[in-house]
């Protein structure tokens, strides 16, 4: 853990943060309601997704517009195994849902998503930036279209109807789907999921930090900065790139499995291109390649639309005395404006790494066309 | 049914969020005074109904239509001084947007569950209605969907889930019977838009048509965002069918009918409720003539207050009914009626009344079967004649007797 | 056989529209290296503006084609202004920003334009009045309307004019110089900012024409119509080799034909295993295949690994 506690006092700080994270859902649930705990749960899922995409985009510098496909793969694997779908679709083979424990499905989902990541990476190794972007976009769409159509001739995904009645995750014999009474405190399902997601998010963060400081992490950065030079230094760029795609995808697979268990229902419409774009926005807006920045980006962008959902109407009421614009229209409008403004004033993201900020300052100081 | 215990410290904050919500609910409604004082008025009982549909995104026009229908019902109830248990009831509608996204649907559902609304009208799509129904069920909130057609929705064992609309099985089998019986076609081409709605309806139609001895000559596909159908229609043309069935919405069906004419194909088309709209004729232009569609329930003109509803809708929202507004209206009315019969706004008390209700709605005589689906759903068939859908016959349901 | 010819014609009409939109992407990309995600929304604004204008012109009782032309003449300057404003407000401050920042800005602009259009034009679908003759003609046993022929011709003429502008005029030379190297172009006396503004304005004018053509051909316009169209056009631009005008045209036409043939014959090709539901999979698969063998598109120049 020396990577995390380099500075004095960091340990105390981490303890405080940990405490805050532990109390947060109880506080939120008791004050502004469980819907906000649910929003926090989704924020944690997005943190995982953003960190996974950050490996591909931030560390290795490979623009990926189809990342949500891995999320979908993880979600569908969980859904197929933990729902009565197989028993309904293939009654001859399956008598009931396989119902494997979550500790088996999640790694399986990660593995499957990782293999898809390598599968995507393999044909695209030679492609540069924006060509890669369109191919990954196409890959994401291909996966979604297959999920949407694989209800015939064999009913694997149940097509557009989606898979319903997915069992919630069981942790230590405890179903996360039902509220639990603990020390006279009622913990609803959303709060239980929060702790479960938080634990896995912390694990993902830990893995990311370790990866960043590893030999592999440095190889990624080398490729991002200059692929030719990296190869000249003896880095096997093909394998290192494939590892970036594969490892990045695994996080998506895990998050997908969690999503399926949490929602109880998956359908292809959850895995559209806009979701990929959203996760990319989180990575770039927060600060590409910088783990705390990416986390910040994910949390902010998943909370912002919800804050606007609650705030848009009352705020107008307060300012103008009446509601001038539909809150729904305003919500997305402000979201778009926020994206533009952040990039305008902090083009390297809200919280870029110190190194990146230095580079950028140097770049701006250079003589040239600073408009 | 399990009702979760609300946290002790919650009540004050519920009141606060109610204030915020009340302000939300009044949006864009110039008629309603903006007085966010839920709980302050002691004389009237306040009943809060949630309404969820996509209000942004490609289906926003349908979502707003649903919300308008529900809002009209709420305004009517308030104007009528509707009484529940001898007390004047004041209805409030909390309109929410789920963007047709399952994830946002559950977030919104949780929000409505937190603010303990008395019932929820919605959602519009099956893909959002189903995941949300789990949350409403767990919170003990009654949900009535005006437009979700996936049969699964009411087959999850949730006593709290209702719909005032024929599901895919009900409508698909009527459409199949109509095609093979009245139209007497043998060779059928089928297109669907690969959405839960379009695919579900097309599958049920295919089953019914095949069972009646028809042949499906080709099954083609498009998407709910497509505008160009020339390629698949050319394919359809090459199989020379007697009838072309399309499972999807008017926004595709209209241009599809027009392009069919452009290609010089004269096959009649058959649609479900999604294309049975005024909009279809605008979109199809002179390609609309002669095609068929079905709509659950009885024609609005034949129901008491039906045409009046259409006029009042137009006057209030300065827009034509898109599609499901009358069903959303009925959904609100039927919930209110159940509350009146039970003399209570408590879901535990009015749920049995809702299950056993028999209410003359705008769209049909509404009664529910044991699953929560509309009982003996009548489906009316229409044919496009000089720019409008004119009713042909009503099949199934009480109207057939 | 006539079915095959019909599919090729279907593909050509669709491809002409893709190509026209793809030109806007490829021009901006060629000069700035930026994927202007908001370009599809400019097409949408063009369509809806023209529709509004046409709605006002119809009562004047002019003949159909004149009304459409009037709508087009109003839509073009409006789109030009929108394109100019987008570049000025959103992209220009980001000239030296990290590579992905303008992409996020483009996504933001796209959302903003869509929401503004939703507020202005409402959520409903708008229909394009039948002002242009849509009676089908027979061509080698296949049907094609006057409007569709017009679309193919207009697209071809506009593309030819654009190629002439870029290769034969002073302004075109300035554009090519800027695309090659902005800093050097500036040293040679090229007003780089003006050239970039002009590129956006020109691309937006083409978008307006494309918007009107889409609305007229499919008789439908909607505030969310730009996104899918933009995506397809962008795919077409990449297929042809982004940054290359000829590539955008070729890519657009090819993508249109691939989609048509894919929808028509994918079932026969796979023995009925896959159907027209895999039309887009087919298109993307061809794209990936092309890029594996020609990593910079069909007509893209071979570029060094680092741009």
Does B1 reside within a domain?
no
Please say if the pLDDT value at position A8 is more than 70: no
How far is C97 from chain B, CA to nearest CA, in Å? 31
Return the DSSP state at B363: S
Mean pLDDT within B294-307? 86
pLDDT for residue A358 is more than 90: no
Q: Is C234 on the interface with A (CB under 8 A)?
A: yes
**What's residue B2's pLDDT?**
43
Tell me, yes or no, if B353 comes closer than 8 A to chain A by beta carbon.
no
Residues in chain C closer than 8 A to A124 (CB atoms) = 288, 291
Predicted local confidence at residue B392, as pLDDT = 93
Judge whether C263 and B235 are in contact, CB under 8 Å: yes
**Stretch B353-362: mean pLDDT:** 93
Phi, psi (degrees; rounded to nearest 5) at A174: -110, 125
Q: Which helix (H) or strand (E) holds B219?
A: strand B215-221
Of A35, A179, A328, the CB nearest to B111: A35
Chain C CB contacts of A368 under 8 Å are 96, 183
- How remote is the C-alpha of A157 from its chain's centroid? 22
- Binary contact (C220, B254; C-beta < 8 A): yes
DSSP secondary structure letter of residue C128: -
Å between A192 CA and nearest CA of chain C = 34
Q: Tell me phi and psi for residue C137, to 5 degrees.
A: -105, 155
- DSSP symbol at A284: H
B201 and B240 belong to one structural domain: yes
Residue B362 sits in a domain whose CATH number is: 3.40.50.2300
User: For residues C43 and B267, is the Cβ–Cβ distance under 8 A?
Assistant: no
On the question of a cis peptide bond just before residue A172, with omega within 30 degrees of 0, the verdict is no
Residues B29, B118, single domain; the answer is yes
Residue A133 reports pLDDT greater than 50: yes
Q: Is residue B361 part of a domain?
A: yes
**Structural domain includes residue A320:** no
- Predicted pLDDT at B133: 95
Question: What sign results for the dihedral spanned by CA atoms A48, A54, A55, A59?
Answer: negative
How many contacts, defined by CB atoms under 8 Å, are there between B and C? 100
Instruction: End-to-end CA distance of chain A: give it in Å, rounded.
Output: 44
B372 assigned to some structural domain: no
> Could you tell me if residue A347 is inside a domain?
no
DSSP string, B261-283: HHTT----EEE-GGG-SHHHHHH
Same domain, yes or no, for B309 and B255? no
Are residue B101 and residue B231 in the same domain, yes or no? no
On chain C, the residues whose CB falls within 8 A of the CB of B228 are: 10, 14, 218
Mean pLDDT of A356-367: 57
Residue A158 belongs to a domain with what CATH number? 1.10.3470
| Res. B1 pLDDT band, cuts 50 70 90 | very low
> Under an 8 A CB cutoff, do A160 and B199 touch?
yes
Determine the pLDDT at residue A7.
63
3-state helix, strand, coil in chain A (%, to 5): 70, 5, 25
How sure is the predictor about B375, in pLDDT bands with cuts at 50, 70 and 90?
A: confident
Q: With a cut of 70, say whether residue B24 has pLDDT above it.
A: no
3-state secondary structure of C33: coil
In a domain, B186, yes or no: yes
Average pLDDT over chain A reads 87
In the structure, what pLDDT confidence band is assigned to residue B43 with cuts at 50, 70 and 90? low
If one compares A176 and B16, the residue with the highest pLDDT of the two is A176
Burial of A111 (0-12, 13-18, 19+ CB in 10 A): middle
The two beta strands, B142-145 and B119-122, are parallel
Which of C277, C280, C283 to probe by mutation at the B interface, max B CB count within 10 Å?
A: C277
The number of distinct structural domains making up chain A is: 1
Please, what are the domains in chain C? 2-293 (1.10.3470)
Q: If DSSP states are collapsed to H, E and C, what string results for B29-59?
A: CCCCCCCCCCCCCCCCEEEEEEEEECCCCCC
Contact between chains at A33 and B114 (C-beta distance less than 8 A): yes
Tell me how far apart the alpha carbons of residues C239 and C234 are, in angstroms, rounded to a whole number: 9
- A84 and B CB contact within 8 Å: no
pLDDT for res B25: 37
CA-CA distance, C293 to A161, in Å (whole number)?
38
ipTM: 0.89
B258 and B312 inside one domain: no
B99/B175 same-domain check:
no
Set of chain C residues whose Cβ sits within 8 Å of the Cβ of A339: 104-105, 107-108, 111
Q: Which residues of B130-146 are buried (b: 16+ CB within 10 A; e: fewer)?
A: bbbbbbbbbbbbbbbbb
Mean pLDDT of the residues in chain B:
86
Whether B159 and B246 map to the same domain: the answer is no
- pLDDT, one tens digit per residue, over B110-135 is 999 998 999 999 899 988 999 999 99
**Domain span at B281:** 169-296+379-400
- Whether A329 sits inside 8 A of B199 (CB atoms) is no
For residues B231 and B309, membership in a common domain is answered with: no
Structure tokens at C173: 């030379």
Shared domain for B16 and B103, answered yes or no, is yes
Cβ burial of B50 (10 Å; 0-12, 13-18, 19+) is buried
Nearest 5°: phi and psi at A221?
A: -60, -40
**Max intra-chain CA distance, chain C:** 61
State yes or no: pLDDT of A364 exceeds 70: no
User: What whole-number percentage of chain A has pLDDT above 90?
Assistant: 55
Query: Both B284 and B256 in a single domain?
Result: yes
Nearest Cα residue to B373 out of B148, B178, B199, B172: B148
Q: Which domain holds residue A108?
A: 23-284
Distance separating alpha carbons of residues C146 and C182, to the nearest angstrom: 44
- The per-residue pLDDT string of chain C (307 residues; one tens digit each, 9 = 90 and over) reads 688 999 999 999 999 999 999 999 999 988 888 888 899 999 999 999 999 999 999 888 888 889 999 999 999 999 999 999 999 999 999 988 887 888 889 989 999 999 999 889 988 888 888 788 777 888 888 888 888 999 999 999 999 999 999 999 999 999 999 998 889 999 999 999 999 999 999 999 999 999 999 998 888 898 989 988 998 998 899 899 888 889 999 999 999 999 999 888 888 888 777 888 898 888 888 888 888 888 888 887 654 433 3
Give the residue-averaged pLDDT of A254-260. Answer: 97
* Domain match, B155 and B77 both: yes
User: B57 and B176: one domain?
Assistant: no
Task: Give which of B286, B211, B206, B208 is closest to B246, Cα–Cα.
Answer: B206
Q: Is residue A275 part of a domain?
A: yes
- Residue A186 has a pLDDT of 81
For chain B, how many structural domains are there in total?
A: 2
């Amino acid at each position: 853990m020396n990577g995390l506690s380099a500075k004095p006092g960091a340990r105390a700080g981490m303890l405080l943060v940990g405490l805050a994270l532990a109390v947060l859902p109880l506080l939120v649930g008791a004050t502004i309601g469980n819907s906000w705990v649910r929003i926090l749960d989704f924020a944690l899922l997005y943190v995982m997704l953003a960190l996974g995409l950050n490996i591909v985009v931030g560390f290795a510098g490979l623009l990926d517009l189809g990342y949500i496909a891995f999320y979908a793969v993880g979600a569908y694997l969980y859904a197929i195994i933990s729902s009565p779908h197989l028993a309904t679709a293939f009654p001859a083979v399956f008598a009931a849902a396989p119902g494997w424990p979550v500790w088996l499905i999640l790694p399986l989902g990660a593995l499957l998503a990782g293999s898809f990541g390598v599968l995507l990476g393999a044909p695209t190794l030679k492609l540069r930036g924006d060509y890669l972007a369109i191919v990954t976009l196409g890959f994401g769409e291909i996966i979604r279209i297959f999920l949407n159509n694989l209800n015939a001739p064999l009913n694997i995904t149940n097509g557009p109807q989606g898979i319903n009645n997915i069992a919630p995750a069981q942790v230590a014999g405890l179903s996360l789907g039902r509220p639990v009474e603990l020390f006279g405190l009622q913990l609803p399902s959303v709060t239980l999921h929060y702790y479960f997601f938080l634990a896995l998010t912390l694990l993902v963060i830990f893995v990311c930090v370790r990866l960043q400081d590893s030999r592999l992490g440095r190889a990624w950065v080398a490729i991002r900065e200059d692929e030719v030079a990296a190869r000249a230094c003896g880095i096997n760029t093909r394998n290192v790139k494939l590892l970036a795609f594969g490892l990045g995808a695994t996080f998506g697979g895990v998050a997908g499995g969690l999503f399926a268990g949490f929602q109880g229902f998956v359908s292809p419409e959850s895995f559209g291109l806009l979701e990929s774009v959203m996760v990319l926005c989180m990575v770039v807006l927060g600060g590409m390649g910088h783990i705390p920045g990416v986390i910040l980006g994910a949390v902010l962008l998943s909370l912002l639309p919800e804050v606007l959902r609650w705030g848009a109407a009352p705020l107008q009421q307060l300012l103008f005395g009446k509601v001038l614009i539909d809150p729904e229209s305003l919500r997305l409008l402000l979201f778009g404006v926020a994206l533009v403004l952040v990039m305008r004033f902090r083009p390297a993201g809200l919280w870029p790494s110190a190194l990146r900020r230095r580079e950028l300052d140097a770049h701006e100081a250079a003589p040239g066309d600073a408009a | 049914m399990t009702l979760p215990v609300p946290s002790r410290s919650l009540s004050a904050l519920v009141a606060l969020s109610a204030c915020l919500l009340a302000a939300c609910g009044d949006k864009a409604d110039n008629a309603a005074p903006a007085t966010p004082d839920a709980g302050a008025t002691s004389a009237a009982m306040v009943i809060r109904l949630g309404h969820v549909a996509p209000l942004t995104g490609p289906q926003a026009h349908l979502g707003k239509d649903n919300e308008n229908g529900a809002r009209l019902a709420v305004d009517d109830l308030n104007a009528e001084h509707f009484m529940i248990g001898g007390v004047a009831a004041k209805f409030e509608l909390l309109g929410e947007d789920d963007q047709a996204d399952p994830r946002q649907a559950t977030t919104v559902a949780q929000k409505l569950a937190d603010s303990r609304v008395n019932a929820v009208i919605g959602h519009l799509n099956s893909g959002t209605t189903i995941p949300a129904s789990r949350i409403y069920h767990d919170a003990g909130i009654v949900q009535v969907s005006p437009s979700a057609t996936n049969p699964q929705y009411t087959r999850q064992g949730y006593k709290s889930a209702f719909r005032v609309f024929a599901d895919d099985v009900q409508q698909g089998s009527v459409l199949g019977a109509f095609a093979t019986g009245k139209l007497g076609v043998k060779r059928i081409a089928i297109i669907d838009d690969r959405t839960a709605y379009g695919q579900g309806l097309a599958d049920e139609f295919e089953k019914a048509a095949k069972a009646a001895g028809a042949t499906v000559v080709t099954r083609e596909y498009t998407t709910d965002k497509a505008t160009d159908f020339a390629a698949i229609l050319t394919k359809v043309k090459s199989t020379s069918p007697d009838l072309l069935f399309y499972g999807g919405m008017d926004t595709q069906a209209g241009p599809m009918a027009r392009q069919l004419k452009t290609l010089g194909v004269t096959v009649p088309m058959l649609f479900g409720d999604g294309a049975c709209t005024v909009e279809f004729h605008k979109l199809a232009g002179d390609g609309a003539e002669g095609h068929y569609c079905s709509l659950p329930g009885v024609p609005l003109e034949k129901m008491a207050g039906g045409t009046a509803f259409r006029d009042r809708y137009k006057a209030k929202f300065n827009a034509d009914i898109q599609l499901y507004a009358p069903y959303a209206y009925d959904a609100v009315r039927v919930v209110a009626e159940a509350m009146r019969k039970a003399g209570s706004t408590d879901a535990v008390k009015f749920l049995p009344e809702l299950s056993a209700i028999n209410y003359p709605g705008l769209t049909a005589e509404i009664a529910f079967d044991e699953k929560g689906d509309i009982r003996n759903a009548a489906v009316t068939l229409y044919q496009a004649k000089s720019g409008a859908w004119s009713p042909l016959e009503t099949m199934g349901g009480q109207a057939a007797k | 056989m006539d079915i095959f010819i019909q599919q090729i014609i279907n593909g050509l009409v669709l491809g002409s529209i893709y190509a026209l939109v793809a030109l806007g992407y490829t021009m901006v990309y060629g000069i700035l290296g930026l994927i202007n995600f908001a370009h599809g929304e400019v097409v949408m604004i063009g369509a809806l503006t023209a529709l509004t204008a046409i709605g006002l012109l119809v009562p004047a009782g002019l003949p159909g084609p004149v009304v459409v032309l009037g709508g087009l003449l109003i839509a073009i300057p409006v789109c030009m202004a929108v394109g100019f404003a987008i570049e000025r407000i959103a992209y220009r401050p980001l000239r030296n920003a990290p590579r992905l920042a303008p992409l996020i800005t483009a996504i933001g602009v796209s959302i903003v334009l869509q929401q503004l259009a939703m507020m202005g034009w409402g959520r409903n679908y708008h229909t394009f009045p039948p002002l242009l003759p849509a009676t089908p003609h027979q061509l080698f046993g296949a049907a094609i309307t006057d409007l569709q022929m017009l679309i193919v011709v207009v697209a071809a003429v506009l593309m030819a004019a654009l190629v002439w502008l870029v290769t034969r005029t002073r302004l075109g030379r300035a554009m090519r110089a800027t695309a090659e190297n902005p800093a050097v172009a500036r040293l040679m006396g090229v007003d780089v900012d003006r050239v970039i503004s002009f590129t956006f304005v020109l691309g937006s004018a083409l978008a307006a024409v494309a918007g009107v053509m889409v609305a007229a051909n499919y008789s439908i316009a909607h505030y969310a119509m730009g996104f899918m169209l933009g995506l397809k056009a962008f795919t077409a631009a990449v297929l042809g080799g982004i940054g290359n005008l000829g590539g955008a045209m070729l890519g657009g036409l090819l993508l249109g034909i691939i989609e048509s043939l894919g929808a028509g014959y994918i079932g026969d090709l796979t023995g009925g295993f896959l159907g027209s539901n895999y039309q887009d999979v087919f298109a993307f698969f061809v794209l990936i295949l092309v890029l594996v063998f020609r990593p910079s598109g069909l007509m893209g120049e071979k570029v060094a690994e680092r741009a």
